[in-house]
Amino acid sequence: MLSKPWMRRRHLPLTFQALLGVALALAPELAASDLATAAPIISIRARSDVQLRSVRRRDDGLVTVSGTVVDRASTQGVGGLDVSITIEGTVYPVITAQDGTFDIIATASAGPIDIDIQVAGDDRFDPASLTERGVDPSRAPVDLTLDVSTTPLGVLVTADARADAIRVELPVTMRFSAADAAEPHVDVQATTGNPVMMKRADIFGPGPKRVRARFAGDAGHGPASVEATFELSTGTRIDLSLGDDSVAFEGTIRARGTVRDEDGAPVANAAVALIAGDRRLGATSTGADGAYRIDAAADLLGAGKHSLQTVAETSERWRRSSRSGPAFINISTRRPAPVGITIAAFAATALVAIGFVIGRRRPWRKPEPPPAPSAAQVEVRGGLEPVRASLVSTLRRAQDHGFAGAVRDAVRHRPVVDAELLVSLGTEVRRAVSGENGTFALEELAPGEWSVRVAAPGHVTEHFSLTIPHRGELRGARIDLVPVREKIFTLYRRAALPVLPSPDLWGIWSPRQIVDHVRAAVPPVRLAELTSFVEEAYFSARVPDEGLLPAAEAKVAAALAERAGAAL
């Protein structure tokens, strides 16, 4: 650092040498101090809810209070949390059991009482609180339970109520919504013991759902509520139409169609492949309206009459794949090339040679590369990446019946361990799990078009098809899985990008800087809720589940609708 002649110590005055020595001695401490102040440690924890199950006065005049602390996202009980219950100024500490429940016995005066519950939280969960006023311990506590059964068309829900272990018939309100979003919702009035049938279309289509039954209380019974989650599955229907029944050998096969679920709703982002027997001619994904289009060269099939089909695969586990009915096409025989084309080819070759000679006599300038896409426009994608075929392998007959390679993280390019691969052909199903380096291998697969599903905790499930046998391109293949938190942050971009000073900052700022900037801008209600949701999913120590994606999409849509309404 002091190697330049004008900075060598022997050429500096003594006073300046002393000041320079002090500055060099203090530099490490100042740098450490700057790092300490510039890089605060931020801890993001999951959210918890506290539920009051019962308040009952005993024969000796004491009052029993019981409740549960649950994880808000999964509704599972959380054990080991400190809870403080305040009744008439007296604090009763307790620790939740393994299933999240807690119970205390307290002294209280006659008549209704106020109850304040505080959950301290820990390094896993944020604090939570609940205050109930005017609770009458003399009323019998009600134990509500839910029996949820999914059907091919929807769900059948039955609420059961017991007071003092005796079944009672009480009015309840059932609220149906998405599993991780309170809005939109549907309320249904029901009576305990009587089943309620809800169709998929009545509760916002298929996917993960939540139902909450609540009894408001009456003169003899205290209020009660209970929640349950379930998943509504659906099949898909794909149709296929060809632009022409007959195509020239040198022409193009144009396949068009749509993918819809059993309720008639379009299915977006479904993987669609065009196949002829066991041959795959092309692939694409559906748009927001469920439509797809695939163009394939007719010479891939050769002359004659051929039967074509399309296969649809979705990334959601609650949507089943489907196959279209057959469509037939006639491909004419190859026509000989006209003599004029041969003459034109020779003429073009001569012109290229002349241009090369002329170009060698002119000064050469290196062309500027095209501008790289903005980081704000780049979206990480997963899927199958086959091995690039060599010239020799393309001439070789398809005879390889194996599928082997590695599963890796699409963002950090690290191996994904314990990823589950399920490959199916009709009723035959084969399974493999990736090892320490993310590697896997499946051998002796039967000929045909295999459907593949690759899933790993914390990653978005990938679906695609394989044609067996192959020419070696599926040996050493790579499967990229997109982390769920990165997918959620990608969805967040649509809503947060207009708030940034410049769109290009999306590729420059860190996720923490982006979230903090949106918060500092005092966003509208829906965008603020979305930002809190993204902050918890992206920065929490817990690995987010793929089931959060529908909630993320719904919150992004709500934030965009809110902005559009404000603009009007």
| Residue found by looking up tokens 């391109």 in the block | 473
Claim to verify: residue 277 and residue 322 sit in the same structural domain = yes
- Its sign, for the CA torsion 191, 195, 197, 202, is positive
Same domain, 472 and 495: no
Supply the DSSP symbol for 41: -
Is there a contact between 49 and 76 (Cβ–Cβ < 8 Å)? no
* CATH code for the domain of 478: 2.60.40.1120
Contact 161, 142 (CB under 8 A): yes
Partnered with residue 44 across adjacent β-strands are 540
Tokens 């193009």 -> residue: 252
Q: How far apart are CA 77 and CA 80, in angstroms?
A: 10
Q: Could you say which of 267, 298, 331 is where a domain stops?
A: 331
Q: Give a three-class secondary structure readout of 258-294.
A: EEEECCCCECCCCEEEEEECCEEEEEEECCCCCEEEE
Q: Which of 478, 446, 474, 445 is nearest to 462 (CA)?
A: 478
Phi, psi of 420 (to 5 degrees): -95, 125
| Cα atoms found within 13 Å of the Cα of residue 244, Cβ hemisphere only | 13
Asked if residue 383 is part of any domain, the answer here is yes
Judgement on whether residues 470 and 390 belong to the same structural domain of the protein? yes
The contacts of residue 418 (CB under 8 Å, 6+ apart) are 433, 434, 456, 457
Domain assignment of residue 206, yes or no:
yes
Residue 71 domain flag: yes
Q: pLDDT tens across 167-178, in order?
A: 989 999 999 998
**How far is it, in rounded angstroms, from Cα 313 to Cα 367?**
43
Distance (Å, rounded) from C-alpha 411 to C-alpha 418?
18
**Placement of tokens 């005092």 in the chain:** 522
Give the Cα separation of 236 and 401 in Å (integer): 29
Tell me, yes or no, whether 250 and 312 share the same domain.
Answer: yes
pLDDT value at residue 250: 80
pLDDT of residue 2: 41
- Residue 298 lies inside a defined structural domain of this protein: yes
Q: Which of 477, 468, 472, 473 is CA-nearest to residue 279?
A: 468
453 and 492 assigned to the same domain: no
Q: What does the block give as tokens for 540? A: 């929490």
Domain endpoint, select from 437, 467, 482: 482
Question: Do 224 and 269 belong to one domain?
Answer: no
- Could you report the per-residue pLDDT of 24-80, keeping only the tens digit for each? 455 455 444 444 444 444 456 777 888 887 888 888 888 899 899 988 767 788 999
Query: Both ends of the chain: CA-CA distance in Å?
Result: 60
DSSP 444: S
Instruction: Determine, yes or no, domain membership for 23.
Output: no
- Say which amino acid occupies 402: G
Which residue is it, tokens 């602390």? Answer: 69
How many CB atoms are located within 10 Å of the residue 207 CB?
Answer: 21
Of 244, 248, 245, give the one whose Cα is nearest residue 303.
Answer: 248
CA 26 distance to own-chain centroid: 49
Residue 26 lies in a domain: no
Q: What is the pLDDT along the chain (568 residues), one digit of tens a residue?
A: 344 444 444 444 444 444 445 444 554 554 444 444 444 444 567 778 888 878 888 888 888 998 999 887 677 889 999 999 999 889 999 999 999 999 999 988 887 889 999 999 888 888 989 898 888 887 878 888 999 988 888 899 999 999 877 898 999 999 999 887 888 999 999 999 999 999 988 888 888 889 999 998 888 888 888 888 888 888 899 999 988 888 888 888 889 999 998 888 899 888 899 998 878 888 888 989 999 999 888 888 888 888 889 999 887 778 888 899 899 989 888 776 566 666 777 778 878 778 776 766 555 555 555 554 544 445 678 888 888 755 555 556 778 899 999 999 998 889 999 999 999 998 999 999 999 899 999 999 999 999 999 999 999 999 999 999 988 888 889 999 999 999 999 999 988 988 888 888 887 888 888 989 988 888 888 988 998 998 888 888 788 888 889 998 999 999 888 888 776 5
Provide the β-strand partners of residue 273. Answer: 283, 311
Say which DSSP state 504 is in: G
Cα–Cα dist 253/296, whole Å: 5
Exposed (0-12), middle (13-18) or buried (19+): which is 91, by Cβ within 10 Å? exposed
Q: Are residues 386 and 467 in the same domain?
A: yes
Is the residue at 17 inside a domain? no
What's the CATH code of the domain at 105? 2.60.40.10
Write the pLDDT tens digit of every residue in 358-417.
766 555 555 555 554 544 445 678 888 888 755 555 556 778 899 999 999 998 889 999
- 178 and 126 fall within a common domain: no
Contact 471, 398 (CB under 8 A): yes
Q: Which of 92, 113, 135 is the last residue of a domain?
A: 135
Q: Containing H/E element for 330?
A: strand 327-331
Contact call for residues 114 and 134 (beta carbons, < 8 A): yes
Angle between helices 549-567 and 484-496 (to 10 degrees): 0
- The parent domain of residue 519 ranges over 485-567
For residue 121, is it within any domain?
Answer: yes
Residues 53 and 80 both lie in one domain: yes
136 neighbors 222 (Cβ within 8 angstroms): yes
Q: Do you know the residue count of the chain? A: 568
Distance CA 331, CA 316 (A): 37
- Phi, psi for 209 (deg, rounded to 5): -130, 165
Q: Which pLDDT belongs to residue 19?
A: 44
Instruction: State whether 78 and 96 are in the same domain.
Output: yes
- The residue to which tokens 């944020």 are assigned: 126
Q: What pTM does this model have?
A: 0.46
**Residue 163 confidence (pLDDT):** 84
Select from 174, 60, 64, 58 the least CA-distant residue to 115.
64
Q: Report the 10 Å Cβ neighbour count for 133.
A: 9
Q: Are residues 214 and 257 in the same domain?
A: no
Q: How many domains does the chain have?
A: 5
- For residues 166 and 253, membership in a common domain is answered with no
pLDDT, position 522: 81
Summary count for the chain: helices (H), strands (E): 7, 33
